[in-house]
């Protein structure tokens, strides 16, 4: 499909109106005074009376020149728009037209009406007609009686739940959520090493149920997982029950309605659920990472459908992205190779020392209490636990230091055979002291409801060069 060529505007004054607009009818008698002006009318070839207007029947002029309100007055110089005013503002019309006494008998201001080119009943069809040619993906035709939901299941394109059919109209609407070009290559997705364009990721976002304003977060998350540092191929191939965990922060999380409070790590929020799901669908449908194929998880976990949440903007210790070096007022996300969350219950600690000891005792068990250094973890502090630390003046570095001090493991207790458990570190490490987590391997986030003295731990996969490293990226619009 080739998109229609955008019609050029003639030099001079150009006015776009529609007969059903009261403001357009009010200013119609003035148009005869604008000598040489070109008038486009959206709905009635006989309007305005006494003026030879051009009927913008297919709304091509209005669409391509981003007319959102009528009347719109544009001054064009050498084929380029030099100035524009919308609605009726007498001073602006006089300035743009150069007619000093224009509209003496009219009120100084009257708002316009919505252009037919932005009518919700028309806009998707217009976008498909005028912009559909920029889509490069293969079209899949369904039979007339074929159920679109079952068809997508039958072709293996779902994650086990129904997906939204990615029609041209829906994909084009999704692409409005980003300023990036639809053919920009965002990442090369493992395991099949297929290049994923903005368009391909927008398709996955449609299928996942995203709104267009979520697309920049999906694009950024795909970039963050598709590199040697995060190693999504290894994360898929491991038999451990892990997948990408996406931790989001910044003012944009509030703007798009992400959940950082009650049930933040669970279901019920469209942005949280669909952003993470879209990333997984990119891995599945673009990269070929499917369960039973390269995805070899022995058990898996429900978070492999989607595991995405926002941090609380009121956190007194800042955000995980800040821990990773991003300014707190910048939209950012961190991808972490994580398992499902486990709850930490401590209803009684009111001293930070006691709470730190509780958290450390639980953190010792990540994957196995006798295995140090191999796995990272995120502690998702609930607001009431976090308040214990904040009231005592403990900031993020202090909390991490106190936890690390409590997570030094005696070699005699974690060698193979100790405690009657064959798992553990080699016998030659008896007598040594080993940290549970490598330097920088313990991360802090803040999320959850304001009632309940709980936190959560998300255990990681093998870390560093042998596994995966958390990756933080600023969100590009």
Distance of alpha carbon 69 from alpha carbon 112, whole angstroms = 6
**pLDDT (tens digit per residue) in 403-459:** 999 999 999 999 999 999 999 999 999 999 999 999 999 999 999 999 999 999 999
What pLDDT does 347 receive?
97
What is the Cα–Cα distance from 45 to 152, expressed in whole angstroms?
Answer: 45
pLDDT band at 133 (very low <50, low <70, confident <90, very high): confident
Section 175-190 average pLDDT: 97
Looking at residue 355, its pLDDT comes to: 98
pLDDT band at 472 (very low <50, low <70, confident <90, very high): very high
pLDDT of residue 3: 52
| Exposure b/e, 268-305, CB count within 10 A at least 16 = b | ebbbbbbbbbbbbbbbbbbbbbeeeebbebeebbebbb
The model's confidence at residue 129, banded by pLDDT at 50, 70 and 90, is: very high
Assess contact for 14 and 74: CB atoms under 8 A.
yes
Phi, psi of 273 (to 5 degrees): -70, -40
Task: Write the pLDDT tens digit of every residue in 3-52.
Answer: 556 799 999 999 999 999 999 999 999 999 998 999 999 999 999 999 99
- Gap between the Cα atoms of 63 and 77, Å rounded: 20
CATH homologous superfamily for 12-121?
Glutaredoxin (3.40.30.10)
Kind and range of the H or E element at 54?
strand 54-55
**Mean pLDDT score across all residues of the chain:** 96
Using CA of residue 315, residue 317, residue 321, residue 326, what is the dihedral sign? positive
84-92: long-range pairs with CB below 8 Å, 24+: 86/112, 87/23, 87/111, 87/112, 88/23, 88/26, 88/27, 88/112
| Sequence-distant (≥ 6) Cβ neighbours of residue 445 within 8 angstroms | 247, 311, 319, 320, 378, 379, 380, 381
Taking CA atoms, 102 is separated from 38, 67, 242, 403, in Å, by 17, 23, 69, 74
Distance CA 103, CA 183 (A): 48
Residue identified by tokens 């990756």 is 471
Q: Which residues pair with 16 in a beta bridge?
A: 40, 72
| Domain locations along the chain | 12-121, 168-474
Reply yes or no on whether the pLDDT at 151 is more than 80. yes
Q: Exposed (0-12), middle (13-18) or buried (19+): which is 345, by Cβ within 10 Å?
A: exposed
**Banded model confidence at residue 467, pLDDT cuts 50, 70, 90:** very high
The pLDDT assigned to 262 comes to: 97
Rounded to the nearest 5°, which phi and psi values hold at 240?
-75, 160
CA distances (Å), origin 198, targets 131, 160, 175:
15, 24, 8
- Helix-, strand-, coil-residue percentages of the chain, each rounded to 5: 35, 20, 45
Q: Which helix (H) or strand (E) holds 341?
A: strand 332-345
How far is residue 294's CA from residue 338's CA, in Å, rounded to a whole number? 18
Contact, 388 vs 398, CB < 8 A?
A: no
DSSP result, 279-296: HHHIIIIIT---BTTTB-
Rounded Cα gap, residues 347 and 99, in angstroms: 75
69 pLDDT tier (thresholds 50, 70, 90):
very high
Question: Is there a cis peptide before residue 71, judged by omega within 30 degrees of 0?
Answer: yes
For 197, the token pair is 């364009």
Q: What span, in angstroms and rounded, lies between the C-alpha atoms of 369 and 414?
A: 8
What the block records as the tokens of 172 is 């084009």
**Mean pLDDT of all residues in 304-323:** 97
Q: Of the candidates 462, 437, 227, which has an alpha carbon nearest to the alpha carbon of residue 337?
A: 462
pLDDT of residue 1: 46
Q: Give pLDDT tens digits for 253-283.
A: 999 999 999 999 999 999 999 999 999 999 9
Task: Round to whole Å and give the CA distance between 101 and 94.
Answer: 7
Beta carbons of 21 and 84 less than 8 angstroms apart? no
CA 83, CA 168: separation in Å to the nearest integer? 33
| Measured distance CA(408)–CA(302) in Å, rounded | 32
């Amino acid at each position: 499909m080739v998109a229609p060529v955008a019609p050029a505007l003639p030099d001079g004054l150009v006015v776009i109106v529609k007969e059903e607009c009261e403001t357009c009818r009010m200013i119609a008698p003035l148009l005869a005074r604008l000598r040489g002006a070109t008038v486009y009318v959206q709905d009635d070839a006989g309007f305005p009376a006494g003026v030879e207007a051009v009927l913008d029947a297919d709304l091509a002029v209005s669409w391509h020149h981003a007319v959102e309100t009528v009347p719109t007055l544009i001054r064009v110089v050498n084929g380029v728009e030099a100035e524009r005013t919308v609605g009726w503002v007498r001073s602006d019309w006089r300035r743009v037209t150069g007619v000093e006494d224009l509209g003496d008998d009219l009120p100084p201001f009257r708002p316009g009406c919505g252009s037919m080119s932005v009518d919700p009943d028309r806009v998707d069809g217009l976008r498909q007609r005028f912009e559909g040619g920029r889509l490069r993906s293969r079209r899949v035709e369904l039979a007339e009686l074929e159920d679109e939901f079952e068809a997508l299941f039958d072709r293996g394109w779902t994650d086990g739940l129904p997906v939204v059919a990615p029609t041209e109209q829906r994909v084009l609407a999704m692409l409005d959520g980003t300023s990036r070009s639809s053919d920009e290559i965002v990442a090369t997705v493992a395991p099949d090493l297929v290049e994923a364009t903005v368009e391909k990721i927008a398709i996955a976002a449609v299928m996942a149920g995203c709104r267009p304003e979520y697309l920049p977060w999906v694009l950024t998350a795909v970039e963050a997982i598709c590199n040697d540092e995060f190693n999504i191929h290894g994360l898929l191939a491991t038999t451990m029950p892990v997948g990408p965990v996406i931790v989001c922060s910044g003012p944009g999380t509030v703007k798009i309605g992400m959940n950082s409070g009650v049930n933040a790590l669970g279901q019920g929020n469209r942005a949280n659920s669909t952003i993470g799901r879209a990333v997984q669908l990119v891995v599945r449908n673009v990269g070929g990472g499917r369960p039973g194929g390269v995805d070899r998880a022995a058990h898996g976990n429900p978070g492999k459908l989607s595991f995405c949440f926002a941090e609380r903007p009121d956190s007194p210790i800042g955000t995980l992205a800040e821990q990773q070096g991003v300014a707190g007022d910048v939209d950012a996300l961190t991808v972490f190779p994580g398992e499902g969350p486990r709850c930490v219950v401590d209803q009684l600690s009111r001293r930070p020392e006691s709470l730190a000891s509780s958290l450390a005792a639980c953190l010792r068990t990540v994957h196995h209490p006798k295995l140090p250094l191999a796995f990272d973890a995120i502690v998702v502090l609930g607001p009431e636990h976090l308040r214990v630390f904040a009231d005592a003046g403990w900031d993020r570095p202090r909390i991490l230091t106190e936890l690390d001090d409590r997570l030094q493991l005696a070699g005699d207790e974690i060698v193979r055979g100790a405690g009657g458990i064959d798992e553990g570190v080699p016998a030659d490490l008896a007598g040594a002291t080993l940290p549970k987590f490598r330097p920088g391997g313990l991360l802090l986030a803040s999320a959850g409801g304001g009632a309940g003295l709980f936190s959560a731990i998300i255990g990681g996969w093998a870390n560093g060069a042998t596994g995966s490293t958390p990756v933080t990226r600023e969100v590009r619009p």
